[in-house]
Chain A
């Protein structure tokens, strides 16, 4: 259903550096770089939904949406911790550290939340037991 999601940036090179390192931990790399708006697409390959950073098409200032978030699924809780720590270490800001939201158990939602340096909110989660 989702082909890709774009996030806005006002500093393309900084954003590229951030997402190179952050998404690199998941095995994702730049799949496409366009001259138009600096659109840069990250993914594992073209068969999976990807994330793009871009200057806004309307050439105005980029800003984060409130209520907007991209959630990335991990296979292990340790991967959630590592992804969150990386997101912060690279210059992101905390929006809720790793932990179970709701009940522990077979369908436990273990998640961590942070924002990229420009305020776009990301979530990493693992669904399942510890």
Chain B
């Protein structure tokens, strides 16, 4: 259903650098740019992508309250590593890694440099 989701930034270079560092060592990489200079990140064809961009209205970017992108991983050690990495490169903590629902949902939460909330999670829900 979701092809891609966009998050706004007021400093594209800094934001791209944040996500480059965050995704280093995972199979997520830079894909293509939008005409407006937004950067798509993803695993490749057929997979939903994340795009970091300045807002279309050319106004100031702000995060949405209640808005969050949950990125899925298979390995909880990877989630622990990504959460620690995010904080190390300037992100802010929104919840330590842990099982939110035992054996069903493992999540770690942080915000990027622009305040966008990201969750790294593993879901055992028949998916």
Tell me, yes or no, whether A88 is within 8 Å of chain B by CB: no
With contact pairs A4-B70, A6-B70, A49-B1 given, residues A65 and B8 touching in the complex (Cβ less than 8 Å):
yes
With contact pairs A1-B42, A65-B61, A66-B60 given, residues A6 and B6 touching in the complex (Cβ less than 8 Å):
no
Question: Given the complex of chains A and B, what is the CA–CA distance between A57 and B68 in angstroms?
Answer: 10
With contact pairs A46-B127, A51-B1 given, residues A68 and B6 touching in the complex (Cβ less than 8 Å):
yes
Question: Is B35 in contact with A102, judged by CB distance below 8 angstroms?
Answer: yes
Tell me, yes or no, whether B66 is within 8 Å of chain A by CB: yes
Chain A: number of interface residues, binned into ranges: 35 or more
Question: Is A7 in contact with B1, judged by CB distance below 8 angstroms?
Answer: no
Question: Is B66 in contact with A9, judged by CB distance below 8 angstroms?
Answer: yes
A91 to chain B, nearest CB (A): 18
Tell me, yes or no, whether B57 is within 8 Å of chain A by CB: yes
Question: Is A70 in contact with B5, judged by CB distance below 8 angstroms?
Answer: yes
Question: Is B4 in contact with A71, judged by CB distance below 8 angstroms?
Answer: yes
Question: Given the complex of chains A and B, what is the CA–CA distance between A66 and B71 in angstroms?
Answer: 20
Question: Is B8 in contact with A67, judged by CB distance below 8 angstroms?
Answer: yes
Question: Is B47 in contact with A5, judged by CB distance below 8 angstroms?
Answer: no
Q: 11 other contacts beyond A2-B2, A51-B2, with CB at 8 A cut-off? A: A1-B71, A1-B72, A2-B70, A2-B71, A6-B68, A8-B66, A26-B1, A62-B66, A65-B67, A67-B56, A67-B61
